[in-house]
């Protein structure tokens, strides 16, 4: 039982779940299996577990997994966790199921991983700057980065170096191409590297700080910021290799595009982005429609709110809509686990893009770079607050509905009694 609970916690951490929720889930699992008392302390890279049975205390600890799970694996882990919280699976069967989930190959194979990354890069390019040159460049470089990620698969020692190398390679190719084609490097560099952006880690760190998890929150924030710096360093190195200076990362821009050129491209880009994520991350079956609904909701809400509160705070309203919607799809429509639909909706807001642009500015204009990082910080805080409040709203509505149902059952029992 100890081994099953600890491995389940490791899998939740690898799924990107916040530590406070992991602790709560594991305590419920321990109680479901008859533990009289359970103490759990979870960090992003470690779990401490203490269980008390009828006779003595049992203590164990384990490091976190060094891999990130695909969306189909995340869905399976959440289904297993729900089953374990109800005590409907034995620890031995649970351990076997976790091992099976971790060994499961991607449903779309190597071609799906590469092609899916090209599609999501194309979709994002259509959202942020849909010029023909940028779209072609995003598709080609998206496939290249997807192939690089495959080479890095199951090699945790290369997980730090790979984003730097990928950023350097993408930067060099983009600036070389800009000599002959009207490519805008400021926008062409971002779509292929979007899956390396630590926007999720930064925002999750803010959420954990709000929950009082100072160690987990601070460590995620520092890790995310370091990853941004490494990405920006790779971009600057790639530009330098082909004869450009770091200032060209922000100074080189192509001609402006008119609103007529973007008509319909943003909406199609959002749908393509969701489809690319579905393929690249091997999302669960029958989850594509729900993913597109959530991603489109996030994008529309952000676009509308940006007209009134600006782009910095628009992420708050996007996540305020997406978070309860993801839980609602899971609970009321028997859709995929909320994390499966929540993550793509979270990614399309691209909280890390503003941060990356701010870091790039620091290479040429420190004052502008610091201003950009402050703006990105406010964007991350707004997204984190939207996630917190959205989850609280959904939980409040669910608890209120359960209370009303219990009151109705109690009233029906009272009315049904004979005097």
Is 416 within a domain?
A: no
Final residue in a domain of this structure, among 51, 82, 103: 103
Same domain? For 50 and 181 the reply is no
Same domain? For 174 and 288 the reply is yes
For residues 399 and 411, give the distance between their C-alpha atoms in angstroms, rounded to a whole number.
18
Q: How would you classify the pairing of strands 46-52 and 57-63?
A: antiparallel
Rank 6-15, 131-140, 198-207 by mean pLDDT and report only the highest. 6-15
Same domain? For 251 and 372 the reply is yes
In terms of Cα–Cα distance, which of 403, 401, 377 is closest to 324?
401
Is 326 within a domain?
A: yes
pLDDT band at 365 (very low <50, low <70, confident <90, very high): low
Task: Using the CB atoms, write b or e for 221-249: b if 16+ within 10 Å.
Answer: bebbbebbebbbbbbbbbbbebebebebb
Q: What is the pTM of this model?
A: 0.83
Is 366 within a domain?
A: yes
Same domain? For 343 and 206 the reply is yes
Q: What is the largest CA-CA distance in the chain?
A: 93
Kindly report which listed range (158-172, 269-283, 292-306) carries the lowest average pLDDT score. 158-172
Cα 149 to Cα 153, 315, 344, 406, distances in angstroms: 6, 28, 18, 51
- How many independent structural domains does the chain possess? 2
Is 407 within a domain?
A: no
In terms of Cα–Cα distance, which of 183, 304, 310, 319 is closest to 242?
183
Final residue in a domain of this structure, among 81, 103, 125: 103
Range of the domain at 249: 109-399
Same domain? For 230 and 147 the reply is yes
Predicted pLDDT at 94? 94
Question: 21-33 pLDDT, tens per residue?
Answer: 899 999 999 999 8
Predicted pLDDT at 159? 67
Is 414 within a domain?
A: no
For residues 207 and 319, give the distance between their C-alpha atoms in angstroms, rounded to a whole number.
12
Same domain? For 67 and 145 the reply is no
Sign of CA dihedral 64, 359, 117, 79: positive
- Calculate the average pLDDT of the chain: 81
The residue with greater pLDDT, 291 or 209, is: 291
Same domain? For 65 and 150 the reply is no
Is 417 within a domain?
A: no
Predicted pLDDT at 352? 46
Is 409 within a domain?
A: no
Question: 296-314 pLDDT, tens per residue?
Answer: 998 889 888 888 887 777 8
- Cβ atoms within 10 Å of 141's Cβ, excluding its own: 25
pLDDT band at 418 (very low <50, low <70, confident <90, very high): very low
Predicted pLDDT at 28? 92
Predicted pLDDT at 309? 83
Same domain? For 86 and 196 the reply is no
Same domain? For 147 and 250 the reply is yes
Is 308 within a domain?
A: yes
Question: 166-191 pLDDT, tens per residue?
Answer: 989 998 898 888 878 877 777 788 88
172 Cβ contact list (under 8 Å, min separation 6) = 238, 239, 241, 242
Same domain? For 120 and 154 the reply is yes
For residues 389 and 110, give the distance between their C-alpha atoms in angstroms, rounded to a whole number.
39
- Cβ atoms within 10 Å of 400's Cβ, excluding its own: 10
Same domain? For 116 and 46 the reply is no
Question: 21-80 pLDDT, tens per residue?
Answer: 899 999 999 999 888 888 999 988 889 999 887 788 888 888 877 777 889 999 999 999
pLDDT band at 240 (very low <50, low <70, confident <90, very high): confident
Same domain? For 60 and 197 the reply is no
Q: Which residue has the tokens 């971009």?
A: 235
Final residue in a domain of this structure, among 42, 71, 103: 103
């Amino acid at each position: 039982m100890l081994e099953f609970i600890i491995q389940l916690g490791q899998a939740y951490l690898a799924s990107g779940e916040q530590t406070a929720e992991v602790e709560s889930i594991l305590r419920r699992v321990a109680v479901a299996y008859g533990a009289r008392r359970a103490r759990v302390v979870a960090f992003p890279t470690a779990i401490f577990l203490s269980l008390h049975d009828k006779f003595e205390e049992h203590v164990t600890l384990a490091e976190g997994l060094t891999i990130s799970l695909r969306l189909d694996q995340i869905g399976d882990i959440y289904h297993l966790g729900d089953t374990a919280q109800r005590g409907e699976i034995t620890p031995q069967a649970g351990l076997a199921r976790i091992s099976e989930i971790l060994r499961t190959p991607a449903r779309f194979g190597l071609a799906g991983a590469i092609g899916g990354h090209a599609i999501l890069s194309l979709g994002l390019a259509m959202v942020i700057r849909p010029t023909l040159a940028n779209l072609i460049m995003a598709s080609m470089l998206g496939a290249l980065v997807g192939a690089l990620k495959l080479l890095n698969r199951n090699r945790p020692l290369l997980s730090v170096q790979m984003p730097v190398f990928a950023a350097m390679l993408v930067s060099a190719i983009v600036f070389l191409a800009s000599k002959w084609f009207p490519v805008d490097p400021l926008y062409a560099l971002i779509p292929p590297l979007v899956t390396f952006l630590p926007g999720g880690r930064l925002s999750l760190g803010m959420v954990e700080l709000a929950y009082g998890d100072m160690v987990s929150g601070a460590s995620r924030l520092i890790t995310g910021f370091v990853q941004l710096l490494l990405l920006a360093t790779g971009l600057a190195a790639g530009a330098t290799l082909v004869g450009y200076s770091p200032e060209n990362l922000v100074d080189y821009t192509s001609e402006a595009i008119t609103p007529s050129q973007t008509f319909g491209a943003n909406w199609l880009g959002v749908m393509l982005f969701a489809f690319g994520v579905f393929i690249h991350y091997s999302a669960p079956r029958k989850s594509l429609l729900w993913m597109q609904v959530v991603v489109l909701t996030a994008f529309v809400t952000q676009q509308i709110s940006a007209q009134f509160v600006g782009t910095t705070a628009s992420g708050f309203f996007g996540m305020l809509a997406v978070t309860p919607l993801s839980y609602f799809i899971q609970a009321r429509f028997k859709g995929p686990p909320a994390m499966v639909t929540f993550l793509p909706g979270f990614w399309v807001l691209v909280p890390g893009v503003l941060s990356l642009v701010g870091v790039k500015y620091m290479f040429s204009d420190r004052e502008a770079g610091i201003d950009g990082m402050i703006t990105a910080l406010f964007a991350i805080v707004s997204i984190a607050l939207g996630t917190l409040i959205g989850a609280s709203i959904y939980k409040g509505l669910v608890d209120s509905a359960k209370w009303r149902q219990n009151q109705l059952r109690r009233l029906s029992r009272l009315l049904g009694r004979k005097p």
